[in-house]
Structure 1
Amino acid sequence: MATPTGSGEHMAKAGAKSRRPGTPGRAVEATEATIDLDDPRLQTEAAQALADAARELFVRNGFSATSVSDITERVGMSVGSLYYHYGSKTNVYLAIWLKYQRSQEARSRETVLAVRAAGVTNGLRLFLAGTRAYLLGAWEHRDVVRMAADGDTPPGFGLRMRRINQDWFRQNSALLRENFNLSEDDDALGVRAMVAIVTDAMGGICREVAACATREEAEELVARGIDVFARLANAPAKTLY
């Protein structure tokens, strides 16, 4: 079952060049992800401490201005410990982002399942219920959203995000098409157009949600966004979630 997040984790296992401990010369940061969130090395307290420190520093100082030694000094570990657990500074960043994506996917999936269990079968309602959950998750993880929104990201990160959005587009187009039982070309094109618009808009709305001063403001902004999406589909927002 598709949810409005896409799944970026499969990309975290692609091959890449990264600096290993003891490698002479300048570090070559990964341009393709090499991190696997299920790697046992990432399940340790040390790995979590490194990620927490990196997350705080990336949010405050940006990716480029944060060094490996900045991260390890913050938690009293050696530089080698970061390379053992993550392989590179880029991979720490990606682990933080992919963990966020995993939590967002779970949040949206659980919401869609709950709405479906309540008897809703309409694809549009399922789609927008999951979208709403995803946007509210951006508030819960607003520091990570801000971390990526400032543009100071690892090389190739934008390409990964486009791939995630493409997966999101394909999965949710299928969800809507299946539940609407579309057969006419015009209807099919309408679904494609709507999902494309929502896909492109999601990043911007997530950034605005993350920038809200309070949860109440974030919830109102999300409600306004869902209302816009509902009107695109000529459906009352209050009937959709």
Structure 2
Amino acid sequence: MTIDLDDARLQTEAARRLADAARELFVKKGFSATSVSDITERAGMSVGSLYYHYGSKTNVYIAIWLKYQRSQEARARETVVAVRAAGVTNGLRLFLAGTRAYLLGAWEHRDVVRIVADGDTPPGFGLRMRRITQDWLRQNSTLLRESANTLGQDDALGVRAIVAIVTEAIGGICREVAACATREEAEELVARAIDVFARLANSPSDNQYRPDSREALGGGAPFRDDGGW
């Protein structure tokens, strides 16, 4: 079964209950130690219901991660739109603002990041995850190409270098953000990561990505401490 988050079967209350139950159990026990019956018992549903909605335990896991990834993409996209609407045209600043929002989302959904980070994932999942993340980040390289005020439209290798660095680093930084003890620590870690990316691109950040400079960036989705979607 190919997972399509827009499938009508995954829009039901039953599908949501199964995913919520699986998410809790994957965090507590890990993917391998969690059985289909564990999930359905926690959700108060039948084994057949899980197979009808998802097809397998692996597909439940993938659906949880795809929903996280979709929320991350939306968060970053909305931040870029807001920053652009505030008058920012510099492609690098737009790129870094979106990246910052993406990294901060790892704290909001830290339980999902942690169940992936522990390495107890379905076969082949790591490769699929990396491909989706890389594809999304490469799409964002257009933010750099659009700007004549940043690396320069003719500096294709410079754009490729920055996108490659962010692409390879973002997974590790997300894991570190998810491991932070507090929201404040997570915000500071993200700010430092963005500072590094800005320096690599020869564009001083001027502390514009610090937690207390959020308004200068055009905001960004607020933190939610409940870890919800």
TM range, normalised to the smaller chain? 0.7 to 0.9
Cα-Cα RMSD:
1.4
Which of 30, 33, 37 lines up with 1:62 in the alignment? 30
Distance in 2 of aligned mates of 1:174 and 1:106: 17
SS of 2:167's partner is helix
Q: For residues 1-241 of structure 1, what are the structure 2 equivalents within 5 Å?
A: 34-180=2-148, 182-184=152-154, 187-237=155-205, 238-239=207-208, 241=217
Q: State the Cα deviation string for residues 181-229 of structure 1 (Å, max 9, x = none).
A: 8453xx2211111110111000000000000001011001111111111
Q: How many residues align?
A: 207
Distance in 2 of aligned mates of 1:239 and 1:82: 46
Q: State the Cα deviation string for residues 3-35 of structure 1 (Å, max 9, x = none).
A: xxxxxxxxxxxxx5xxxxxxxxxxxxxxxxx11
Q: Percent identity?
A: 86
- Structure 1 unaligned spans of 5+: 1-15, 17-33
TM-score (norm 2): 0.86
- Structure 2 unaligned spans of 5+: 210-216, 218-229
Distance in 2 of aligned mates of 1:87 and 1:138: 28
Structure scoring higher RCO (CA < 8 A, sep ≥ 6) equals 1
TM-score (norm 1): 0.82
Is the 2:17–2:43 contact (alpha carbons within 8 Å) kept by the matching residues of 1? Answer: yes
Distance in 2 of aligned mates of 1:210 and 1:239: 22
Is the 1:168–1:199 contact (alpha carbons within 8 Å) kept by the matching residues of 2? Answer: no
CA displacement at 1:239 relative to structure 2:
4.6
